[in-house]
Structure 1
C-alpha cells in the first residue's frame, strides 16, 4: 500500500471523520489544490467532483466546467444545492466570513445540510480567521512544509519535466536522497525555485547541485533575522587534535544518517562543547556540519533579545520551530551560557531556558544541536545532565603533538609545504598556547616574510613565538578555574590532559 504524505493523511482524517467544514491555513494554493484533487479521486468509493471558488474566477472545475456562483453567498448556495458528494475548495474565504453575518449564518446552515451527504467544504487562506460562532464547527488544519513522501512525489514529477526539457538527472538513489534532504523544509514552490537555481549554470542535477539547493534555505532563514546560515565549513580531519571528540562524531554520523529507521532515544541529539577560548570550539561545530553532510544554522541570541521580533521567548520558540521545519540540519548555539540560563527563573531568560530544555527532549530527529560555552560555571545542572546532550566535551589547551598538527594545518592552508619545517622545535616555545594563538603566530611570521618580499622560513616562526603572550599566562586564574571545573564534569576531547 502506498504511504500517504502527512498532509494527505490529514485531509483523509477530516473526510473520514465526516466533518463537512474545514479551514486550512496555507499560502500554497497550488499544493493544496493538488492535494484536494487527489482526495477527490481516492478518498471515496468512486471519484467525486472538485469544485474551486475564488472571488476573481467564481466556481469552476479543473475540466473547465463552470457554475453561476460569482459571489461568496452564491457559492454557498451552490454547495447547499449540489445534488451529490463533492469537495469544494473556497479560496481566501476568510474575508467574506469576517465581513458578513449573512455568510457566517449560511456556513452554519451548511454544517447541518452537508453532514453525512458526502459534501466537504475546504476554506483555504494564508491567514487564520475563524469567527467565534463558527469555531467549533470547523476542523482546523495548518498545512506544514511537505514531508519526504510528498517531496519525493514532487521531485519525480519535476525531474521528469526537466529531463523532457533536455536536462540530465543523476538517478543514483543516494544522490536523490541527498537532493530530497536539501529540499526538505521548503515549500513546493521554493523547492521548484531551488531546482531551477541549481540548473541555472549547468544542465545537470546531481551532488554538485547541493550548494545551490541550500541557497534557497539560506534565503528562507535570512528573512527571519534570527537565524544565520553558516556557509563556510571544514573537513573534520583538518582540525588539529581533539581525537576523542572527532572519533565520537564519526561514529554517531552513521546513526544520524539512519535516523528514520532508529528510535528517538538512539538517534544522536547533539553535543555541548565547552572549554578555553581559542581552542577550536567554533571550528569544531563547523566541521560537524561538514562531517554530517548537513547545512549549519546559528541561532542569533542577540537578535532574539533585541525586541525586533516580539518578546524574546516567543521569538526563540519561533526560531526553533522554523529550524524543525527546515531539518535536517546542524543547529549551533554559540556561547549558550550567555543567552540561555536559569538565573532569572521568573524572567525571560528563565522561560527561554525552560522551553529549551523541553525542546531538546522533544525536537525532531532531523536536528543535531551543537552548543559551545566558555563560562561553563554559569551552566545549570539541568543543562549538562545526560539526556539533554548526548555528550559534554571539554576542549583543553592543545598537547605538544596537537600544536604541531595545528601549525602544519595553518601552513598548508596558506599554500606552504610544512614538510620543509622542523615544527618539533616549536613545542617548547608554544607550551600553553591555544590553537588561535598558533594561527596568529603563523600569520605574523608570514606577514614578516611578505613585507620583506621573500618566502617564509623556520626562523620567522621562531621569532614570532617571542611576540605572543598566551592566554594561559595572562588569564591564568580563569583558565585554571575552567579546567578544574570541567575535570570531573565533562569528557576530554583529546586523549590526555594538558600537563602544566
Structure 2
C-alpha cells in the first residue's frame, strides 16, 4: 500500500473516531488537499459539515467552494470555526498553512482552545502544514505524515500523464520505461514530476532516451546534497582494463538493478566492497559503473563528516544517507572507507556509532543506491562490515596478470598515443610491466603521450616507449612487504576481481575426497 493510501485510511479512521485535532504534515499542499477531498467525497461523509480556510480564498464550503464571509483573515477563520463547533455537531474545519504552531505561542494556544471546543461537540480540526506542531497541540489529537510519492504512486502519476498526451505527441515509452522513469523521480514532489514530464512533452515527442535525462534533472532539483559530492564521469573513465570476474558480476547486478522487483521478496543490489593493491583500478571502477549503468555518481567523504561536537558526525552521516535515498537510483562511491569507519581503536566511540548507523542503512534501505566502497587497508575495517550480507560481494583487486596488462596497455596506448601498438611492442611492454599496477601503466603511457605532443610531427620510436616502461618504478618494487601483505590477505579472504585461474592437469594434484559406493 502506498503512503498516500495509508494516509487516506488513517484520515478516514480519525474522522470516524471524531479526533478533535488531526495534523497532516506534508510539503505537498495540493496532494494533502486531495487527501482531504477524497475523504469528503466518501458517501458516508455526506452529512458531515466541512469547511476549508486558506489565506488566498478565506473560509469556504469544502464541497461547493461557496464563501462563508468576506473576512479572509486568520482570526476571522478562527472565530467562524468556534461558532460552528459551538452550534453544529460533528463540524470539521480544515486550516491550510496556518500561522506558526511549532512552539508555545498565542496562535498555538488559540488552536488548542479551539480543539477543546471541537471535542466537546464531536467536531474536528484538520491542520495541513509542513512544519512540526507544538507538543501541547500534538497531545490533543493524531498526526499523519504524507511522504513524497513512492515508485508505485509515481508510476501512476506518469501513466496518467502519458495517457492524457497519447495522440497529442509521439510517445515511445512502454511500461518498463515508465517504471524506470518512476524510479528516477522518486524523492521529488508530484507537482515537480508533472512539470518535468510537461517539459519533455514540449519537445514534441517523448523518446526512450528521455528516461536517462531524468537523472540529470533530479541532480539539479536537489542541488548540493548534504555530505555528498556529485562526480562528473568523463567518457574515457567508463573503460576499465582487466578485472574480468568483477565486470561479469557487475553485468548481472545491472540487470537486477533495472528489473521490476514488485511482487518479489528481492531487494535491489546493495553494492560491492573492493579491496586490494593501490592503483589497480578500484576507484576507477566506481566511475566506470556509473558511466556504463548511466546513473549519477556521488562521492561520500566519511572522513570529512567527523565533527567536534557529540552527535554531530552521526547527524551528518544520517543526512547524507537520507539524501542518497532521495536521489536514487544512483551509484554511491565511498573511497578509502577505512578512513571513516575504522573504529576499533577509537576511544570516543564515534567510529563505532558511525559503523552501526551505516550498517543499519546498508541492511534496511530498499532504495536503488548501489554502493561502491574501496579500501587499501582492509585490516583496519571493523569485522562486521566484512560479514556476508552487508555488501553483495567482497572483491580483491590484485596486480594485473599478463593478459590483463595487455588489455590495459592497449586501452591507455589508444587514449594517450592515439594509435594501436604493434604486436611486437605490445609483447615487450607486457613483459616489462610485470608487477605494475594499472596506474603505473597509465603513468608511463601518459608520459609517452606528453612527449609526443611536445614534439609534434616527430616519429614515435618504439625504443622510447620501452624506455618509459623501464624507468617506471612500481609500488610493488618500492614497498614489496606492504604489497605482499595485502595480496596474502586478499587471495585468502575475497573473490578475485581478475579472471579466475585456469585449472590444469599438470603439476601437483590435491587429494580427492573419499567416496563410498554402496553395492547391492
Match of 1:330 in 2: 331
Match of 2:37 in 1: 37
Deviation at 1:384, TM superposition (A): 0.3
Conservation of the 8 A alpha-carbon contact between 2:26 and 2:130: yes
Report whether the alignment pairs 1:226 with 2:233.
Answer: no
Q: 1:47 to 1:333 in 2, by over 3 A?
A: farther
Conservation of the 8 A alpha-carbon contact between 1:92 and 1:125: yes
Match of 1:238 in 2: 239
Match of 1:464 in 2: 468
Match of 1:99 in 2: 106
Unaligned runs of 5+ in 1: none
Instruction: Give the alignment of 1:158-307 within 5 angstroms.
Output: 158-159=161-162, 167-195=169-197, 198=200, 202-232=203-233, 238-256=239-257, 257-264=259-266, 267-305=268-306
Greater radius of gyration (CA): 2
Match of 2:8 in 1: 11
State how far apart, in whole Å, the 2-side matches of 1:188 and 1:310 are: 34
State how far apart, in whole Å, the 1-side matches of 2:178 and 2:396 are: 38
1:144 to 120, 143, 147: 147
Conservation of the 8 A alpha-carbon contact between 1:236 and 1:246: no
Q: 1:148 to 1:81 in 2, by over 3 A?
A: farther
Match of 2:117 in 1: 109
Deviation at 1:26, TM superposition (A): 1.9
Match of 1:428 in 2: 431
- Cα RMSD for the two superposed structures: 3.2
Q: 1:450 to 1:196 in 2, by over 3 A?
A: farther
* Segment drifting more, 486-495 vs 223-232: 223-232
Q: 1:411 to 1:75 in 2, by over 3 A?
A: farther
TM-score by length of 1: 0.86
Unaligned runs of 5+ in 2: 503-520
Q: Output one character per residue of 1:106-154: Cα deviation in whole Å (capped at 9) or x when no partner.
A: 1123234336xxxx5331222112332x323322223222112321232
Q: Output one character per residue of 1:239-264: Cα deviation in whole Å (capped at 9) or x when no partner.
A: 21111111222223333324334324
Instruction: Give the alignment of 1:413-492 within 5 angstroms.
Output: 413=415, 416-418=418-420, 420=422, 422=424, 423-454=426-457, 458-492=462-496
Deviation at 1:322, TM superposition (A): 2.3
Instruction: Give the alignment of 1:57-68 within 5 angstroms.
Output: 57-60=57-60, 61=62, 63-68=64-69
TM-score by length of 2: 0.83
Deviation at 1:430, TM superposition (A): 0.8
State how far apart, in whole Å, the 2-side matches of 1:216 and 1:79 are: 47
Conservation of the 8 A alpha-carbon contact between 2:159 and 2:178: no
Q: Output one character per residue of 1:432-475: Cα deviation in whole Å (capped at 9) or x when no partner.
A: 11111211222111111111113656444323213321111122
State how far apart, in whole Å, the 2-side matches of 1:192 and 1:162 are: 12
Q: Output one character per residue of 1:272-312: Cα deviation in whole Å (capped at 9) or x when no partner.
A: 11112211111212233345453332223244225799811
State how far apart, in whole Å, the 2-side matches of 1:32 and 1:253 are: 36
Q: 1:261 to 1:368 in 2, by over 3 A?
A: farther
